[in-house]
Amino acid sequence: MEKKQALQCVVLFVCISASWIRVESLGNGLGLTPQMGWNSWNHFGCNINEKLIRQTADALVSSGLANVGYKYINIDDCWANYNRDKWGNLHGNDATFPSGIKALADYVHSKGLKFGIYSSAGTRTCSGRMPGSLGYEKQDAKTFASWGVDYLKYDNCNTDGSAEKQRFPVMTQALRASGRNIFYSMCEWGYQEPAKWGAEVGNSWRTTTDIKDTWSSMLFNIDINDGYAKYARPGGWNDPDMLEVGNGGMSYNEYVAHFSLWAISKAPLIIGCDVINLNKEAHSILANKEVIAINQDSLGVQANKVKKYGDLEVWAGPLSGGRKVVLLLNRGNQGTKLITFNWADVGIPPNSAATLRDVWLHYTYKKTIRHKLTVKVAPHSCRLFVLQPV
């Protein structure tokens, strides 16, 4: 073999192994794109029961949201009896989930959806109303598997004080040994910077404290999450917490910015509102297929903040097919502002022409553009574009 050919082989081998490592760190084959679904916590808290979960599964399908990718129905805290039974097993709460969790999982599956559940790496969950899985990891993982659970959100309350880095992998092993392939969503709130070690442990990891349904909380979380952008990859995602779209605390433009920031950050798109009574505006945001496609893009690279002048920001990242996603954000609350970005800011060669698609207006501009772009952005709003260099 000639020297040049040999070198090409080595380069190819290194590239293939690097991409393999990037794709399959945890190795359960799940979460190759960020997970999409619904979770009970942000809207309902502990006020949940089996009827609500069934109706939510129905609504996810009838609203068309399942069709655009939202597949998981996840129950959060407060689903179990206060205590384990005498064999140490968890059971669905007798009053609120009288048919049992297996029956509920079966119902969710019968709708073509997947079913998720919640526990904590502590002796009790965060509500204190049910046991956590610390010391019962294997037993609980087996129980979850026997019920047909597809997804576990694992929280960090009432711990024994040991390090998250030690406690969370115990559940990784337990899930592996459970006999079912279960998506593992770690929720240790960024305490031990799980972005730096989570890829081998779980499929996603919270980077932040709990989101609130406000503009400032949403931005607070996405800014922290942005600091870990380089660690996201297919199979393991940064999680700035669940969506608040539809819960009523933010304006339409603010929710569009919230959803756009989550989408480009390759964040899990877990709906946190009441989808049984979903209003039209929230539906139009959550069901925007073009924005979802950015989130679910096969390249799996998290966009990040590339420029900031005061309240005005440019966020950008690569998409498959040589495209770029660019988000222009006006965080301020006074007046529409002009935001400019140069091709170099977003990784396009300076002299390339590019087509420009506004994914909220669903409009492709007639003329191609070169060098830079200046766009008006209203207060507490964003504009979101996909650029295709031509």
Q: Which residues bind ligand GLA (CB under 6 A)?
A: 41, 76-77, 125-127, 155, 187, 210
Of 63 and 209, which has the nearer Cβ to ligand GLA? Answer: 209
Catalytic, 210? Answer: yes
d(CA 141, CA 135): 12
Min dist CB 41 to ligand GLA, Å, is: 5
d(CA 242, CA 229): 17
The single residue listed with the structure tokens 């966020």 is 315
Residue 230 tokens read as 């380089």
d(CA 185, CA 26): 12
131: DSSP letter: B
Catalytic, 140? Answer: no
Of 74 and 143, which has the nearer Cβ to ligand GLA? Answer: 74
d(CA 193, CA 205): 9
Beta-bridge mates of residue 381: 330
Residue 36 tokens read as 């999409």
Min dist CB 282 to ligand GLA, Å, is: 20
Specify the amino acid at residue 20.
W
Counted residue by residue, the chain has a size of: 390
Burial class, 91, CB count within 10 angstroms (exposed 0-12 / middle 13-18 / buried 19+): middle
Of 127 and 139, which has the nearer Cβ to ligand GLA? Answer: 127
Catalytic residue among 210, 223, 345, 358: 210
Of 125 and 172, which has the nearer Cβ to ligand GLA? Answer: 125
Of 117 and 314, which has the nearer Cβ to ligand GLA? Answer: 117
With beta carbons less than 8 A apart as the criterion, state whether 380 and 333 touch. yes
Q: Residue with CB nearest ligand GLA?
A: 126
Catalytic residue among 140, 150, 155, 226: 155
With beta carbons less than 8 A apart as the criterion, state whether 107 and 97 touch. no
Give whole-number Cα distances, 341 to 327, 365, 370, in Å: 10, 17, 11
Min dist CB 81 to ligand GLA, Å, is: 16
Min dist CB 125 to ligand GLA, Å, is: 6
Min dist CB 31 to ligand GLA, Å, is: 18
Min dist CB 106 to ligand GLA, Å, is: 24
Of 235 and 268, which has the nearer Cβ to ligand GLA? Answer: 268
d(CA 60, CA 73): 9
Rounded to 10°, the helix 137-147/164-176 angle is: 40
Any residues with CB less than 8 A from the CB of 118 and at least 6 apart, and which? 74, 75, 76, 77, 79, 125, 152, 153, 154, 155
Min dist CB 62 to ligand GLA, Å, is: 27
Of 132 and 169, which has the nearer Cβ to ligand GLA? Answer: 132
Catalytic sites, residue numbers:
155, 210
